[in-house]
Amino acid sequence: MTKMKKSDLLALLKMTKREAVVGGKKLSQVSSTVLQANGDYITTTSIVRDGVSSIGRFTVPTTDDEPALENITVANIDLLIGALSAHGSDIDISYADGKITLKSGSKRTTLASDGRAKAFPHTNKTVGEWSADSEARFTKSLCDIELNQYTMQDGTSLDGVVATVPTKDLLDAMRSGSINGQMIEATRLNLNPDCTLEVVAGDEMKGATRTVLDSGSPEGTTLTTSIGGGFENILAHTESENCDLVFFDFSAYDAGVAVVLRTNEAVVFQREANNG
């Protein structure tokens, strides 16, 4: 049994599923996951539904005096979010016999969560298998992300270019793309030679908004990319005052410019739109 704040678990689940606009519709990029015990923290690591365009790891604290030891299979993230609505701010969560148990105060909720469930309808891999594959890929490719490096399949490293901006300002810039009911699938990010980051969200037919943020990126650097992946639904649930955008130029491999979003709670690799 693991003790934690309900708000932290909700943030973890919402960041993990991170809704994004795909084909004009909002879709959860991840619909199931494994809550992995990691000392005083719970983490999830998931490749998104298309299997290639993005991978993310998210981390929140527990409130236990002892390190968390139990992994919890979540066959349906939305159902667990719904079950949490019945509970107070401090919860106990556990997993046994294919069921998740939530406790708070005098309430106890059990939710079926079969470890044999498919990660997505289009795959034969179970939730656990998809999670294990995600862990392996994250560990191989992003093992040195704290050094702003991406590890290629042959073991060589690609250095990234870092832009650091206020989290709330980046969230506001990305949300500007929804004006006049727009359902945008990608946001353009421009790193400028004057050490600024320009965020372009929306279409001019209904309103395109440009926001320029000081980023501390290297002077003289110019990089441009477009990303989807629902970053705004990660930024909305992080408590980090600032966040990093680490740009990786894969142009030499015909794969565009990818971006890693990095906060205290999240590390998310996102390929350039149309280069998944």
Average pLDDT, rounded, for the chain: 94
Comparing CA positions, the residue from 138, 153, 163 lying closest to residue 269 is 138
Give residue 35's pLDDT band: very low, low, confident or very high (50, 70, 90): very high
Interval 42-52 mean pLDDT? 95
CA distance 97 to 112: 9
pLDDT value of residue 190: 97
Residue-range domains of the chain with CATH: 2-139 (3.10.150.10), 147-270 (3.10.150.10)
pLDDT value of residue 178: 87
- Please give the full DSSP string across 122-135, using - where no structure is assigned: T---BHHHHHHHHH
Residue-wise pLDDT tens digits, 159-212:
999 999 999 999 999 999 889 988 888 999 999 999 999 999 999 999 999 999
Residue-wise pLDDT tens digits, 11-34:
999 999 999 988 888 899 999 999
Does residue 142 carry a pLDDT above 70?
Answer: yes
The fraction of the chain above a pLDDT of 90, given in percent, is 87
pLDDT value of residue 64: 84
CA distance 259 to 226: 9
Residue-wise pLDDT tens digits, 83-126:
999 999 999 999 999 999 999 999 999 999 998 899 998 899 99
CA distance 59 to 56: 10
